[in-house]
Amino acid sequence: MEAVVASDNTLMNTLGELSFDNTYARLPEVFWERVKPTPFPNPYVVSVNPGAAGLLNLDPGEFTRPDFAEYFCGVKLLPGSDPIAMLYSGHQFGHYVPQLGDGRAIMLGEIKTENGERWELQLKGAGLTRYSRDGDGRAVLRSTIREYLCGEAMHALGIPTTRSLCIVAGEEIVWRERPEPGAMLLRMAPSHVRFGSFEVFFYRRQHEYLKLLADYVIDEHYPHVREAENPYARLLHEVAMRTGHLVAQWQAVGWAHGVLNTDNMSILGLTMDYGPYGFLERYDPTFICNHSDHQGRYSFQHQPDIGYWNIRALGQALSLLMDEENLKLAPQLYEQAMLEKYAELMRSKLGLTESHAGDDILVTDLLNLMDSSRADYTTFFRALGSFQQEVSTVDSAIRDFFLHREAFDDWAGRYRERLLAEKSQNAERKVRMDQANPKYVLRNHLAERAIQQAEREKDYSEIDRLRELLNHPYTDQPGMEGYALPAPDDSPPIIVSCSS
């Protein structure tokens, strides 16, 4: 298929015209293993994401070529790719594991686009590598659907994240808690370097490789920090602030990661490694989305503290490259960035444009009321946009979220006074609040419905329907009102674990 010219006169790429520049594979072999994907028999496309394809300037006509699935299932390699599995270690549930690495993911290579962007193409579920340990190197259809959809949902919510180009399946059964259909996910990110990528060389005392990796990350992703007195300290500080902003965004939207091990923390401040995640439904700060997290280490309310812990772990790994003062500053910068960003986002969710003393108490008191009533987090904040500040009684559609209505009335009175203090206008405020409070998020029961249709019927239409819906989370979409509702009260529980 020949390249075509898009409507904006941008030349579109075919698969064979993607431009590879495999910088990570040019690092010494201690950083990676060169390994080819293990293909599925009779691969076929489950879903392709046009938004991610656009980042590569990939011609949509390529989606229908007969061998598209073969390129993203390991049967064929894209011209110029150099497949490798990356080495890293990490702290898992607070305990250091000396070697982890890409046990079921293989980086096909790095695409460099015409506008200078770089995208690593990583195939998850691509088979055994030397880092697989006791695993089988595979992913299941269930987990690939969950990551594919949630990455797009987070992107549309404005939260930094990895993206996914496509899901490819084949005739292979994978054993987890039960036999499940296997699948591969083509994940994209500017870099898949993690906190654990640095930890492995620190704890192995291979300090020359630690510095080499830091130089690589600076040169490829943080070139501006070269101007600093100590570029390595500046790198750590910027990662700390990016991570603080990221965690604040998770908290504000009501999302729990589930496995915030240091090997799942991006050096670029991206949300990555979607497994047992979950959006809050009934507000519960103790929410644990990971069935394997028996102690609640990664509960929703603990995420800010875990982010702080992980920044300290990264600082320890980089400690030989900076003085003690810069090392101690990193977690402080994380905390400051996280708290400031969270306060800003929560003011936006309440429709406030100014920062006043006591705003934090207003937010905390509301969340406590939501907790005691188990009010639905997403639905309530969306409804709050209709609050009328001139009316002394609150609309029942808002008030009825709460069991203790008198307590909410008291809070609403304080909220009304706060709005009047900055001369807020109802109509204008509702427009802003609707852009800060999504109507649609990827609730677990929505993802589960798409998974069930895919597994039982090989019907993948719900995957595409959800992806398109979640691309516009702040917009009322006619006929899709049911997708904004929480799971029915009598729904069976959805168990999500690390294998998810």
The token duo for 446 is 């929505």
The string of DSSP codes covering 172-188 is EEEESSSEEEEEEEEEE
The token duo for 88 is 């890293």
The string of DSSP codes covering 420-479 is HHTT--HHHHHHHHHHHS-S----HHHHHHHHHHHHHH---HHHHHHHHHHTSTTS--TT
Smallest CA-to-CA distance from 220 within 109, 83, 117, 322 is with 117
Using CA atoms, how far residue 26 sits from 101, 109, 123, in Å, is 18, 11, 19
CA distance 417 to 350: 13
Indicate which residues carry an active-site annotation: 263
Strand, helix or coil for residue 25: helix
Could you tell me the maximum CA-CA distance found in the chain, to the nearest angstrom? 69
CA distance 48 to 64: 10
Smallest CA-to-CA distance from 37 within 13, 1, 69 is with 69
Query: How many CA atoms lie within 13 Å of 216's alpha carbon, on the beta-carbon side?
Result: 21
Residue 484 one-letter amino acid: A
CB 200 within 8 A of CB 97: no
